[in-house]
A and B are shown apart, each in its own frame.
Chain A
Amino acid sequence: MNGTSSAMAARPPVHRGLADRLRDGLPRLVLAPSFALILVFVYGFIIWTLTLSFTTSRILPVYSFAGFDAYIRLWSQPNWHMALGNLAIFGILYMSACIAIGLLLAILLDQRIRGEGVLRPIFLYPMALSFVVTGTAWKWFLNPGLGLENTMRNLGWESFTFDWLVNKDMAIYTIVIAGVWQASGFVMAMFLAGLRGIDSEIIKAAQIDGASTVSIYRRIILPLLRPVFLSALIVLAHMAIKSYDLVIALTGGGPGNATELPSTFMYSYTFTRNQMAVGSASAVMMLMGIAAIIVPYLYSELREKDR
């Protein structure tokens, strides 16, 4: 700034100064509205939720503080433990199945096969549907009286049984199935982009050295895909923690409350059970869960840039 103004001292100062200032300020001016909105509607409401979790709010927000009372009540609820247990089952299976299937599809598609341009969008298409549509479609498909089981029985296979949707022990796995169906195509696209980004010279060199295809994948390609694994994991992990619409559309949290997740717990306690403080506390716990995943990731990203 100082260098510019001294160099331009001979020119009429007002005109250049204005253009300069405009050029300097423009990015800030353009970003200001969205920044202000995010400040209020994301971070502001995070703080609001945090505040509410320390109050005695029940039907509407009130601001009489009660310390960690809501957190104590939260952790004493069998429903919350149920929700966490379900999240563990759902999260682990969902992430591992999506990555396994996505990687396999990507590797198969990467074999320079004919018609790739047609196949790729076919695999990616489920991602274009909303979770509500996915959930509803799978609800019909898995309903023993309407979908798969009924069809197989009508075709003559009388003993065919697939009643996971209405089975308290298996219902959570139907959510995994629908979730994996929805997201594995997206993971495939990520891996495919990663595979295409690998320098073919390295692979050719390995082939000349006589390495088998399996060991090329195991020793060279998969290690090179590490950043893609990480991104996939981050994206899938936060999708698992916040998944709400899929459960509501597919099982409504039932049978009983066998498919309760932290997100459905948060909604019901905040909005339908008049226990807003407990609901807010559960929302804060979810936020902390996501932060536990995102913060180390951001940290490693920033460190890499510094290097």
Chain B
Amino acid sequence: MKKLAAGVALMALVAGSAHAAEEVEVLHWWTAGGEAAALNVLKDNLAGQGVGWKDMPVAGGSGVQAMTALRARVTAGDAPTAVQMLGFDIKDWSAMGVLGDLNELAQKENWDMVVPAALQEFSKHDGKWIAAPVNVHSTNWLWINKAAFDKAGGKAPETFDDLLKMLDAFKAQGIVPLAHGGQPWQDGTLWEAVVLSLGGMEFYQKAVIEADPAALGGDKMKEVFEAMSKLRAYFDPNFSGRDWNLSSAMVIEGKAGAQQMGDWAKGEFLRAGQKPGTDFVCIRFPGTQGSVLFNSDQFVMFDIGEGEERSAQLKMAAAVMDPAFQSSFNVVKGSVPARVDVADTAFDDCGKKGMQDLADASKTGNLAGSLAHGHAQPSAVKSAIFDVVTQHLNGQITTDEAVKRLPEAVAAAQ
């Protein structure tokens, strides 16, 4: 508390001193290799328009640390131009009344028509555009090392039981079957994929999106936690606290067979010079084919007054929504464009599959927000679910306790 306050005071002194002609200050957590490379696309685009880029990176995969840094800035009355943000965080912040208004630009460029409704849910507040969506990620992917995959039979697992068979085959090869990083958000990412795999979209909607106590504490959920215990047996002993990109590296180097992770993992594979289909395989998490759990990175625009800063801000928002940018950015990042009217020609096989899956799932109603990435519940509830999931995965509580505690924890956080 004291440190924060001192920091706030210090920033208030420093603020207002340095302002170049036209410049945007962007707070984000894209610090892993593939992510940083993708962000450079946007930097170069803006530099071409004479807009400077003041980087404010805050490391940490889930963006939690970035939100903390943001809180200090906003409390000090010195909000950055734009902030990378996810789902319910955007809703929380827009309720605080500190965000800017992009409606004029949005109407001129017809954002209402090109951005999927599921995303608009988060990029608009009270009918007002407040954020520019950059991409759509989906979290229910499985990334597999091709060599290990071929040795294990070369057939993509289609159900959860098939997955266990494949992991057994990896085990027999003497590699780590499933590379996993034991951080609460990664545990949560795996958990939501298992919920979808075993329960289907209807159950996911009921349990995760609606937080229905009966679904959270029922027999199906018990099955999910039992499945988590089974998966736990395929981790290496050192998974605790490992960053997600280090787990990806294990798959890339052939030390591990597979990793369940969102499509940002693809950026790591591409950056290591690997090609989809020949060096690695991307499939939907077994049992979740046809469904997509999404999260969307958006650049939320803060209210920074009129003048030069505002003009730089609008230029940035327009640049983010530029179809050419959305294509080139997402090719590098591993995600798919937030606009539905972008051609998939530049994308690799995994990217094309991702775009196709997104379009299909959106039509069939099998598109839902990812809990682990803040598109299903506010962060208090999300963290409460993480608590139970991570405690169970680490053996602190039994399956029965987890099923009992999950609805309680959710109710206490609401």
Contacts and interface: CB of A to CB of B under 8 A. Distances in A.
Do A and B come from the same complex?
yes
Contacts of B47: none
B391 interface: yes
B154 interface: no
A41 interface: yes
Nearest to A60: B96
Contacts of B383: 268, 272-273
Contacts of A48: 1, 5
B75 A60 contact: yes
Q: Chain A interface secondary structure, helix, strand, loop or mixed? A: loop
A204 interface: no
Contact of A79 (B4, B183, B387): B387
A251 B241 contact: yes
Contact of B394 (A41, A45, A144, A254): A254
Interface string B70-111: 010011000000000000000011001000000000000000
Interface string B175-195: 000000011100000000000
Interface residues of A, number: 38
Interface stretch (B214-222, B232-240, B267-275, B316-324): B232-240
A166 B236 CA distance: 11
A163 B75 CA distance: 43
A257 B236 contact: no
Contacts of B241: 251-252, 254-255
Contacts of A255: 182, 240-241, 394
B236 A145 contact: yes
B52 interface: no
B183 A252 contact: yes
A273 B380 contact: yes
A270 B64 CA distance: 12
Interface string A107-124: 000000000000000000
A257 B387 CA distance: 7
B395 interface: yes
Interface string A249-282: 0011011111000000000101111110000100
A168 interface: yes
Contacts of A45: 1-2, 5
Contacts, number: 93
Interface string B1-42: 110111000000000000000000000000000000000000
- Which of A41, A254, A280 has its CB near the most chain B CB atoms (within 10 A)? A254
- Which of A48, A76, A78, A256 has its CB near the most chain B CB atoms (within 10 A)? A256
A257 B391 contact: yes
A77 interface: yes
Contacts of B67: 271-272
A73 interface: yes
A78 B408 CA distance: 11
A281 to B, nearest CB: 12
Nearest to A273: B383
Contacts of B71: 59-60, 271
A255 B187 CA distance: 11
A272 B64 contact: yes
Interface string A76-109: 1111000000000000000000000000000000
A146 B241 CA distance: 14
Contacts of A257: 184, 387, 390-391, 396
Nearest to B92: A59
Given A256-B393, A257-B391, A274-B92, A42 B2 contact: yes
Contact of A73 (B236, B378, B412): B412
A66 B396 CA distance: 33
A58 interface: yes
B1 A49 contact: yes
Contacts of A274: 92, 378-380
A258 B412 contact: no
A260 to B, nearest CB: 10
Contacts of A151: none
A283 interface: yes
B216 to A, nearest CB: 16
A165 interface: yes
Interface string A39-51: 0011001001100
Interface string B227-263: 0000000001111110000000000000000000000
A59 B393 CA distance: 29
Contacts of A58: 92, 380
A256 B5 contact: no
Given A73-B412, A272-B383, A41 B2 contact: yes
Contact of A256 (B1, B96, B378, B391): B391
Interface of B: 1-2, 4-6, 64, 67-68, 71, 74-75, 92-93, 96, 182-184, 236-241, 378-380, 383, 387, 390-391, 393-396, 405, 409, 412-413
- The 3 A-B residue pairs whose C-beta atoms are closest, nearest first, are A256-B394, A145-B238, A255-B394
13 contacts: A59-B92, A59-B93, A60-B75, A78-B405, A166-B239, A254-B183, A254-B241, A256-B394, A258-B394, A271-B4, A271-B71, A272-B67, A280-B1
